[in-house]
Amino acid sequence: MQTIGLTGGIASGKSTVSHMIRAKGARVIDADAIAKRLSVPGGSIHRAFVQHFPFSFFLPDGTMDRRRIGRFVFDRPKEKAWIDATCHPLIQAEAQSEMHEALRRKERVVVFDVPLLYEVGWDRLVDEVWLVYVPPAVQLARLMAREGNEEEEARARIAAQMPLDEKRVRADVILDNSGTPDELAAQFEAIWEERVHGQLP
Ligand code: ADP
């Protein structure tokens, strides 16, 4: 089985490419979706948070008070580190169990959609990394257009991630999304044909 890690930076176009991959019929294992699933009451992340944080960090329906937790960890690097060290292995374990399901079904390719792939070291778990890249000015403009953020806030959110130019040096495949959506789709088709379809027996 071929394993591909798909990553990008915030608003670089990763979700757009992820849809294109699903449209090919390939399984996409989505790290964000797994994190959400494990964070509802009864999920493993939720259980760990209940043990770690006080009662007041949860809403009356038992769900996490994300804003409260976010504010609390904002200037507490140790708490942030606890969250990362707790969540990432749980998410990876779940992703691996989805991959085993794909193996059982004899699927030929699995794509892991992971926003912070390099930051978390997930690149070491896949055969190759595909990066959806945009130059910094385009990233800023698309983020502001999508979320209606002020420039300062958008810049801060981008600065919190590893710069795309740094990821670009490390990636095996680059999808340059600085042009139109059609241009991105054409690049994707060529890369899929060459690196995935062309590899199938
Ligand atoms: P990500 O998943 O990396 O955050 P998205 O796929 O959601 O990025 O794309 C970010 C935003 O930019 C979305 O609003 C999307 O519609 C828009 N977008 C994506 N690709 C292009 C493009 N080539 N030209 C213009 N807008 C785009």
pLDDT tens across 136-194, in order?
A: 999 999 999 999 989 999 999 999 899 999 999 999 999 999 999 999 999 999 999 99
Compute the average pLDDT of residues 103-107: 95
Residue 17 CA: which ligand 1 atom is closest? 6
Nearest CA to ligand 1 atom 24: 180
What CA–CA distances, in Å, run from 99 to 37, 127, 180? Answer: 17, 13, 33
Q: Assess whether the C-beta atom of 139 lies below 6 angstroms from ligand 1.
A: no
Q: Measure the CA–CA gap between 74 and 82, rounded to whole angstroms.
A: 13
Domains of the chain, earliest start first: 1-26+110-201 (3.40.50.300), 27-106 (3.40.50.300)
Compute the average pLDDT of residues 124-140: 97
CA of 40 to the centre of ligand 1 (A): 28
Q: Measure the CA–CA gap between 186 and 13, rounded to whole angstroms.
A: 14
CA of 176 to the centre of ligand 1 (A): 12
| pTM of the complete model beyond 0.85 | yes
Give 85's Cβ-side CA count (13 Å radius): 7
